[in-house]
Amino acid sequence: MQNKTILITGGTGSWGRELVGKLLEREPKEIRIFSRNESLQVEMRQEFQHHPKLNFIIGDIRDKYEVMQACQQVDYIYHLAALKHVPICEQQPDSAMKTNVIGTQHVIQAAIANDVEKVIYVSTDKATHPSNTYGMTKALAEKLIVHANLREGNTRFVCVRSGNVLGSTGSVVPLFKQRIAQGLDLSLTDSRMTRFFLTLEEAVALLLKATEDSRGGEIYVTKMSACRIADLTQVLIEELATGVVRINETGARPGESLTESLISEFESTYSIDLDVRYYVILPPYPIEGLQDYYAGSVPVDFRGYHSNHALLSKPEIREMLLKGGLLA
């Protein structure tokens, strides 16, 4: 990354801030933060003490011209921008489609037109077996990113597929912590619900791994822990509550599933066990040089990687929260 120009779409969120900190250590020429939220850009500029290598650009990935302009003379793109909250995407599927699918296509077109070296796209476990608008739009965007490697040009495209990032903006743990501190009851949609979790540090390590090692066309997956949301909630109450905090079960919201999957049964056929930390999902069609590069790799030994398998115990959940900096 030394002396490279990097564009981060949606870079004012939790992922973007952590990523910028890691990238600055690698002495890039410039990091462009492209997002719609002016207030968050001002806040982030102050957080990084007006670092001279950070260039903040107000823009929307739904506007192809703005994306084209932002991509000029860029070497790497981290495409983080998305509508990601399941209820909002269910209520406004047209907006989810415009941002998550058409916006991603704009990034692909701009990257190819500007001869960008590599695009790293952040996806989600909800894209594996999509049960809601958010998952469906992210699954479509994954297909666009992987297929873009078949188009003319030198740009390489790679996906990373993540679970829930502990402490990320708008996620469940900061919300529950806030309500516990206020002595308010917690709402849990379904006590049977399980989810994958990883720390923000692990999420950014996944991005950097894909940046450095990918050939183009892969989906990188971190080997991550899963737990029951009910157990996570109990641990937070036990550790943080000073009084009685009740849990009210409200029922799953529209589009919400009980379990998530990082690798589907079908994808297992094309997936490899890369090393102690990562899996790689290969496309079911050939991309020049890609399958040959992984020819000697070890196939995965499962049929689907789901969040209701090998669940963390409550002591293990506590250790996960401590590792993520979410418990004192």
Q: Are 272 and 300 in contact (CB under 8 A)?
A: yes
Start-end of H helices in the chain: 14-24, 38-47, 64-70, 86-91, 93-96, 103-113, 133-147, 172-181, 200-213, 229-240, 265-268, 290-293, 314-323
Q: Write down how long the chain is.
A: 328
d(CA 98, CA 104): 9
Distance of CA 250 to the CA centre of its chain: 27
The residue among 274, 79, 294 whose CA lies nearest residue 283 is: 294
Q: Are 61 and 106 in contact (CB under 8 A)?
A: yes
Angle between helices 229-240 and 172-181 (to 10 degrees): 40
Residues involved in catalysis: 126
Q: Is 280 helix (H, G, I), strand (E, B) or coil?
A: strand
